[in-house]
Amino acid sequence: MSTMSYIKFITRACSFALVLALTACNGSSTTGEESEAVEVIPEDIVEMRADQIKMANIQLGKIEARTLSGRLKVSGIVSVAPQHFATVCAPMGGFIKSTTLIAGSTVAKGQTLAVIENQEFIELQQSYLKAKNNYALAEEEYKRHSELYKEDVYSQKSMQQVTTEYKNLKAEVSALAQKLTIIGIDPTQLNENTIKSSFDLKSPIAGAVTKINVNIGRFVSPTDVLFEVVNSDKLLLELTLFEKDADKVVTGQKIAFFINNESEQHEAVVYQTAKSVDANKSYKVYANVTGTCKNVLPGMYVNAIIETSAAMSKALPSEAIVQFDDKNYIFTFDKNKEEDGKPFTEYRMIEVQVGLTDAGYTEVILPEGVDAQKLQVVTKGAYNLLSAKKNAGEMAC
């Protein structure tokens, strides 16, 4: 309800409550010696006379079956898929030799983020070249002894020793080559003249650098997070819905969303819905952000509107549904009665759940066991009944 509508409702309700109080008090007089039994009215009942009903402009109607296509207002956060978010660490520890980046810098896949220096890099390259040379020699020995073994010149035991040495060196060379590859050194290009004391730490994806935890001269270990890189061209929304709305969202539906209370509208498309409901009875929906949104970043809070498809629903005019203490209610005709020769009508207050709203009508979900066909619902004047209910204590004379 808008602020202006709320003010109008309060003004109207207060005026009605005042008049209702005055009319309720007129004609009721007792002496100090007289005492009458006071009827106890149930909490969910509002009792009104014919003149009060007319003054409140109360009209009755039925719950209708209508085709509603509405909007779901939901909230969530901006996120990215795991393959578009990278946490960058140094495979081996070392000292930061140089970096030219600041938070917000754009980087390409494979671009150098920082140069890391460590004496252990030199020793690793040295070990690789030494193992490679020993392997080359062992391979020649293996081939030579294999020929001699075939001619029964070499013993089986000696052949086994040569074979074991050859395979051990082969495994060592392969393992050291993998270590060099991890730190960005191509083992096929390494020789005695290309040994270096540093290596380039490169970005595994293209995107923007959102976090930097380095400075020149700082020593870092393999477990330290040095950079975070996010590909903001591949953003997604993680939206939270109520359990009752789970069946209203399907893959391919369009979403309009807003950030930071801005008026600029952004768009997304649902690509996946959760397969289960969380412990707090919420339901997750995931959507791909379409187009380029320069001011939308991961972690931002969003308000979103999901366009839902048309469906047949039980509905009432929206003005028939009132809100009180963050809950939704309708009033229904309960019964006519007579007290002291005066006719009264009782209306019952029923809590309901609401769904889609379209063209002035709102979907209502009744409590279990309530038959919609038997209800006569207050379609006009519901807020006046709510006002009378809330002010019942003040209207007692």
Helices (H), the chain: 3-25, 50-56, 119-150, 156-182, 382-390
Binned at pLDDT 50, 70 and 90, residue 38 comes out as low
Query: What is the reported pLDDT for 147?
Result: 76
Binned at pLDDT 50, 70 and 90, residue 109 comes out as very high
DSSP H or E segment with residue 49: strand 45-49
As a whole number, mean pLDDT of residues 12-39 equals: 48
Query: What is the reported pLDDT for 393?
Result: 45
The full length of the chain comes to: 397
Binned at pLDDT 50, 70 and 90, residue 394 comes out as very low
Those residues whose C-beta lies under 8 Å from the C-beta of residue 230, and which sit 6 or more positions away, are 80, 84, 85, 86, 207, 208, 210, 298
- Are 332 and 322 in contact, with CB atoms under 8 Å apart? no
Query: What is the reported pLDDT for 215?
Result: 93
Residue 297 sits at the vertex; the CA angle it makes with 294 and 302, to the nearest 5 degrees, is 105
Which domains are delineated in the chain?
3-69+312-390 (2.40.420.20), 73-81+233-308 (2.40.30.170), 84-229 (2.40.50.100)
Residue 391 has phi, psi (to 5 degrees) of -105, 15
- Predicted TM-score (pTM) of the model is 0.55
Q: Which pLDDT tens digit goes with each residue over 224-238?
A: 999 999 988 888 999
Summary mean pLDDT of the chain: 83
| Partners of residue 256 on adjacent β-strands | 267, 305
Query: What is the reported pLDDT for 39?
Result: 61
**Percentage with pLDDT > 70 across the chain:** 87
Query: What is the reported pLDDT for 127?
Result: 94
**Percentage with pLDDT > 90 across the chain:** 38
Q: Which pLDDT tens digit goes with each residue over 236-263?
A: 999 988 887 777 788 888 888 988 777 7
Q: Which pLDDT tens digit goes with each residue over 264-274?
A: 888 899 988 88
